């Protein structure tokens, strides 16, 4: 990697450097954690905010888009803590175990910490402070990448959840991890989920961050034969940078889906390594955009072992001047034979001013694999609309039906009925609101 | 008053004139066949009646129950009782046939100021109509026409017609791509809907379909006009002699 010589920092970069200098003494964790932070910040400081000439951030130019870096959020007050209560309501039928992070702080008294055999839950900042072994073993180590947003997160990570599911444990209730932002400030949340051999868990991550600038990261380790279903729902009124780092063991089933709506500027980046053989994964997303919203789903999938099957399926619906970005890179390492990976990205443009950028990439270093990708971007089919209208369905209703079908097809790729319904409801609500 | 009166209709698409002064009258309860060689404008007529965009009417009028429908949207025409059975029914991924039928039926009812059908009433009607056409529940749950055979798609068109109960059904080459068994099923579906209150325009290239849907009147189109009108025996004559003479007549 060539180091870029930069002498002039943007205001946001300068503010971030000041924030780090000021906060580093009080951030949780000493010793190796402090060293990790320093190294990460040095890396970020050398790179700066990524811009359009950085290939991985080509369509989401943070240097241009992020004018100011807000100061770190203060601990939330009682009323802020209470706001998180209703966020998981759409999933109440699932009776999830709710964990709450408000303004970057894990709120124990708003979290369901009742004991359950094989399940350990705690706060990330506490784990960092006490030098928790699980955290020491995994944080910063799940997937190595020089990504600048992650480096920034590692430098400034404050709090989040640490979840450990012991071998063979089937966690019956989904875990809803609620992230609420109430301040005109910045938060850097970091969570770790370790699912041991043969264990099962469903994780619903919900972010409603208002005008809070968010940089959030989740590290996930799934052991052999585990099953992890992960759903991330985002509504963010300000900058929202999210990184998923996952290492998946042999014969695991891993599903991850990102649903984004009503969000100003979102980057959902996932780095997934299939470290063990014969894994099965479905990674998908649905983004609904209007106004000048910008949603970037970026994916790096590394098939590092034999017989991995992965399906990547992303869709976006764009109104007005919305801009959806999909970048998907599938890497098949040498020796990862019989890999079967298929990636599909479709954008539905409901306005002439909307923009969809699709960038699929395949890097294949094994010779006995099946990999494919497809990408489309287009308007609603006028012939289809005519067919519906010739049956008496007015234009607006016909459009709504077709958009709903487009959205429904990707929601149907979710593995559990109980997750599909609330998402479909949320999508329909968005469609109705577009009038 | 006739149900449909097409007067001196001229239609262009992409600067090409397709209909050149077409006159056509359909009486209430009548089954009219429209035959003619390829390119004579049969399908264009069907699409113009249904209100497809890109077809530009440069002259003439179309009266449906005495009302000029040319300025109406396709869905408004449908709610007035006009139905087009497509030659190539569209596949609609993600929209279940049942949802599609229900949305269409209720949209038309709403447009006419009628109450929506209750779920049990709707289900009863669908089951009955689908049963008669050999369409099973599994097909109704599937996305509209996705993975359907040619015959299934045409039967689905007839099912939609049965559910929507139009005043005028225009069947655009419903026989194309069908084997004889599928053709019979489709024709029986049409015949069940024949009534003094409902008219049909059966567009076909071949006489074969008219063995099963026996028309009251046969119109021959050539080069964008109706050039001859006769009884059902005209279809047999066309089958025997071909369309060559009409191509000359219109020239």
pLDDT tens figures, A40-64: 999 999 999 999 999 999 999 999 9
pLDDT at B107 > cutoff 70? yes
Q: Enumerate residues 6+ apart whose C-beta is below 8 A from A301.
A: A270, A272, A274, A281, A283, A310, A312, A328, A329, A330, A331, A341
Residue B70: its pLDDT value, please? 96
Across the interface, of A382, A390, A392, the residue whose CB is closest to B111 is A392
Question: Which of A427, A408, A306 is closest to A366 using CA atoms?
Answer: A306
B119-132 and B150-164 helices, crossing angle to 10°: 140
- In chain B, the number of structural domains is 1
Residue A434: its pLDDT value, please? 75
**Cβ-contact B94, A409 below 8 angstroms:** yes
Shortest distance, CA B199 to any CA of chain A (angstroms): 17
- Counting one residue from A and one from B, how many pairs have CB atoms under 8 Å apart? 77
Interchain contact, A386 vs B160, CB within 8 Å: no
Residue A155: its pLDDT value, please? 98
Closest residue of B to A382, CA-based? B53
Residue B60: its pLDDT value, please? 97
**Cβ-contact A192, A124 below 8 angstroms:** yes
For a pLDDT cut of 90, what percent of chain B falls above it? 87
Interchain contact, A394 vs B93, CB within 8 Å: no
Neighbours of A387 (CB within 10 A): 24
pLDDT tens figures, B16-65: 999 999 999 999 999 999 999 989 999 999 999 999 999 999 999 999 99
* Residue indicated by tokens 């619906």: A317
Question: Which of A315, A282, A326, A295 is closest to A403 using CA atoms?
Answer: A315
Residue A42 CA to its chain's centroid (Å)? 25
For residue A349, list its beta bridge partners.
A318
Across the interface, of B52, B86, B95, the residue whose CB is closest to A405 is B95
pLDDT at B216 > cutoff 60? yes
Domain, as residue range, for B165 = 4-250
Contacts of B92 in chain A (CB under 8 A): 384, 387-388, 402, 405
Shortest distance, CA B77 to any CA of chain A (angstroms): 7
Which of B53, B55, B80, B95 to substitute to test the interface with A, most A CBs within 10 Å? Answer: B95
Contacts of A389 in chain B (CB under 8 A): 51, 73-75, 78
**Cβ-contact A172, A198 below 8 angstroms:** no
For residue A340, list its beta bridge partners.
A309, A370
Higher pLDDT, B77 or A432: B77
Contacts of B51 in chain A (CB under 8 A): 389-390
Residue B12: its pLDDT value, please? 96
What would the two tokens of residue B55 be? 């077809």
CA dihedral A93, A199, A284, A191 (to 10 degrees): 90
Question: Which of A339, A217, A191, A323 is closest to A270 using CA atoms?
Answer: A217
pLDDT tens figures, A268-278: 999 999 999 99
Q: What is the arithmetic mean of pLDDT over B220-234?
A: 95
B104 touches chain A (CB under 8 A): yes
Q: Enumerate residues 6+ apart whose C-beta is below 8 A from B150.
A: B177, B178, B182
What would the two tokens of residue A33 be? 């954690």
Question: For residue A330, which phi and psi values (nearest 5 degrees)?
Answer: -110, 125
CA distance to A270, A288, A293, per residue, from A375 (Å): 19, 17, 21
Residue B251: its pLDDT value, please? 41
pTM: 0.89
pLDDT tens figures, B180-194: 998 999 999 999 999
Contacts of B86 in chain A (CB under 8 A): 387, 390
What are the E-state strand segments in A199-293? 200-210, 213-222, 227-236, 239-248, 253-261, 265-274, 280-289
pLDDT tens figures, A82-114: 888 889 889 999 999 999 999 999 999 999 999
Across the interface, of A387, A389, A404, the residue whose CB is closest to B73 is A389
Interchain contact, A389 vs B79, CB within 8 Å: no
pLDDT tens figures, A362-410: 999 999 999 999 999 999 999 999 999 999 999 999 999 999 999 999 9
pLDDT tens figures, A242-297: 999 999 999 999 999 999 999 999 999 999 999 999 999 999 999 999 999 999 99
Interchain contact, B143 vs A391, CB within 8 Å: no
pLDDT tens figures, B154-172: 999 999 999 999 999 999 9
Interchain contact, A392 vs B108, CB within 8 Å: yes
Residue B243: its pLDDT value, please? 87
Higher pLDDT, A190 or B238: A190
- Give the domain CATH number at B117: 3.40.50.300
CA distance to A101, A160, A218, A269, B73, per residue, from A180 (Å): 6, 12, 16, 20, 47
Residue A7: its pLDDT value, please? 63
Interchain contact, B95 vs A402, CB within 8 Å: yes
Q: 3-class SS at A292?
A: coil
DSSP A115: -
Q: What is the arithmetic mean of pLDDT over A108-130?
A: 97
Interchain contact, B78 vs A389, CB within 8 Å: yes
Q: Enumerate residues 6+ apart whose C-beta is below 8 A from A57.
A: A50, A51, A148
Q: d(Cα B48, Cα B44) in Å, to the nearest integer? A: 6
B108 touches chain A (CB under 8 A): yes
Contacts of B83 in chain A (CB under 8 A): 390
B97-111 and B150-164 helices, crossing angle to 10°: 30
Higher pLDDT, A86 or B2: B2
What would the two tokens of residue A197 be? 């051999």
pLDDT category of residue A340 using cuts at 50, 70 and 90: very high
B70 touches chain A (CB under 8 A): no
Question: Which of B62, B92, B98, B101 is closest to B80 using CA atoms?
Answer: B62
Q: 3-class SS at B19?
A: strand
Closest residue of B to A386, CA-based? B52
Shortest distance, CA B67 to any CA of chain A (angstroms): 18
In the predicted model, what is the mean pLDDT of chain A?
95
**Cβ-contact A344, A376 below 8 angstroms:** no
pLDDT category of residue A4 using cuts at 50, 70 and 90: low
Interchain contact, A394 vs B73, CB within 8 Å: yes
pLDDT category of residue B246 using cuts at 50, 70 and 90: confident
Residue B112: its pLDDT value, please? 96
Higher pLDDT, A170 or A431: A170
Question: Which of B52, B30, B34, B50 is closest to B42 using CA atoms?
Answer: B34
For a pLDDT cut of 70, what percent of chain A falls above it? 98
pLDDT tens figures, A9-30: 999 999 999 999 999 999 999 9
ipTM above 0.85, yes or no: yes
Question: Which of A298, A157, A291 is closest to A219 using CA atoms?
Answer: A157
pLDDT category of residue A73 using cuts at 50, 70 and 90: very high
Q: d(Cα B103, Cα A435) in Å, to the nearest integer? A: 18
* Residue indicated by tokens 């072992």: A305
Q: d(Cα A187, Cα A29) in Å, to the nearest integer? A: 17
Interchain contact, A393 vs B103, CB within 8 Å: yes
Contacts of B84 in chain A (CB under 8 A): 390
Q: Enumerate residues 6+ apart whose C-beta is below 8 A from A359.
A: A58, A59, A325, A326, A327, A328
Contacts of A313 in chain B (CB under 8 A): none
pLDDT category of residue A5 using cuts at 50, 70 and 90: low
Residue A277: its pLDDT value, please? 96
Which of B91, B94, B101 to substitute to test the interface with A, most A CBs within 10 Å? Answer: B94
Across the interface, of B52, B79, B164, the residue whose CB is closest to A386 is B52
In the predicted model, what is the mean pLDDT of chain B?
94
């Amino acid at each position: 990697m060539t180091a870029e010589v930069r002498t002039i920092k943007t205001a946001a970069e300068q503010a971030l450097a000041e924030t780090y200098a000021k906060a580093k003494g009080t951030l949780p964790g000493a010793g190796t954690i402090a060293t990790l932070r320093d190294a990460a910040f040095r890396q970020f400081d050398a790179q700066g905010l990524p811009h359009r000439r950085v290939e991985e951030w080509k369509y989401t130019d943070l240097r241009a888009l992020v004018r100011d870096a807000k100061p770190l959020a203060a601990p939330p007050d009682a009323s802020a803590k209470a706001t998180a209560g209703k966020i998981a309501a759409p999933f109440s039928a699932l009776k999830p175990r709710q964990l709450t992070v408000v303004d970057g702080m894990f709120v124990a008294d708003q979290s369901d910490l009742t004991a359950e055999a094989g399940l350990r839950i705690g706060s990330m900042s506490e784990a960092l402070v006490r030098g928790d072994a699980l955290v020491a073993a995994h944080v910063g180590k799940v997937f190595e990448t020089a990504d600048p947003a992650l480096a920034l997160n590692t430098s400034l990570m404050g709090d989040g959840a640490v979840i450990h599911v012991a071998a063979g444990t089937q966690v019956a209730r989904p875990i809803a991890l609620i992230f609420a932002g109430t301040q005109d400030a910045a938060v850097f949340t970091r969570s770790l989920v370790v699912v041991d051999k043969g264990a099962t868990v469903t994780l619903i991550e919900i972010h409603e961050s208002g005008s809070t600038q968010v940089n959030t990261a989740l590290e996930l380790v799934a052991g052999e034969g585990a099953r992890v279903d992960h759903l991330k729902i985002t509504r963010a009124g300000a900058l929202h940078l999210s990184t998923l780092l996952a290492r998946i063991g042999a014969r695991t089933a891993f599903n991850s889906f990102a649903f984004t709506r009503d969000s100003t500027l979102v980057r959902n980046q996932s780095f997934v390594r299939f470290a063990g053989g014969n894994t099965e994964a479905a990674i998908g997303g649905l983004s609904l955009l209007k106004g000048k919203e910008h949603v970037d789903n970026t994916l790096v999938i590394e098939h590092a072992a034999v017989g991995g099957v992965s399906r990547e399926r992303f869709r976006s619906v764009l109104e007005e001047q919305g801009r959806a970005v999909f970048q998907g890179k599938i890497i098949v390492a040498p020796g990862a034979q019989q890999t079967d990976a298929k990636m599909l990205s479709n954008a539905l443009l409901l306005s002439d001013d909307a923009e969809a950028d699709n960038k699929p990439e395949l890097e294949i270093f094994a010779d006995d694999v099946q990999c494919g990708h497809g990408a489309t971007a287009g308007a609603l089919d006028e012939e289809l609309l005519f067919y519906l209208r010739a049956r008496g369905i007015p234009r607006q209703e016909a459009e709504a039906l077709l958009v709903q079908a487009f959205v429904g097809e990707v929601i149907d790729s979710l593995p559990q009925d109980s997750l599909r319904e609330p998402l479909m409801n949320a999508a329909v609500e968005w469609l109705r609101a577009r009038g | 008053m006739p149900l449909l009166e097409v007067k001196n209709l001229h239609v262009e698409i992409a600067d090409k004139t397709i209909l050149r002064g077409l006159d056509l009258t359909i009486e209430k309860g009548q089954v009219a066949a429209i035959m003619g060689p390829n390119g004579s404008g049969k399908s264009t007529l069907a699409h113009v009646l249904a209100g497809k965009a890109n077809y530009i009417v440069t002259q003439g009028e179309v009266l449906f129950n005495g009302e000029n429908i040319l300025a109406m949207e396709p869905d408004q025409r449908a709610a007035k009782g006009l139905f087009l059975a497509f030659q190539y029914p569209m596949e609609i991924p993600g929209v279940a046939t049942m949802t599609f039928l229900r949305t269409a039926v209720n949209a038309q009812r709403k447009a006419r100021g009628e109450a929506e059908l209750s779920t049990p009433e709707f289900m009863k009607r669908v089951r009955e109509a689908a049963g008669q056409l050999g369409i099973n529940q599994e097909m109704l749950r599937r996305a509209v026409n996705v993975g359907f055979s040619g015959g299934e798609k045409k039967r689905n068109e007839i099912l939609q017609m049965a559910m929507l109960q139009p005043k005028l059904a225009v069947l655009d080459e419903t026989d194309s791509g069908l084997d004889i068994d599928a053709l019979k099923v489709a024709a029986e579906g049409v015949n069940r809907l024949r009534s003094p209150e409902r008219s049909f325009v059966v567009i076909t290239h071949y006489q074969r379909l008219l063995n099963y849907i026996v028309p009251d009147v046969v119109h021959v189109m050539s080069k964008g006009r109706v050039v001859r009108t006769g009884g059902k025996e005209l279809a047999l004559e066309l089958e025997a002699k071909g369309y060559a003479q009409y191509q000359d007549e219109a020239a």
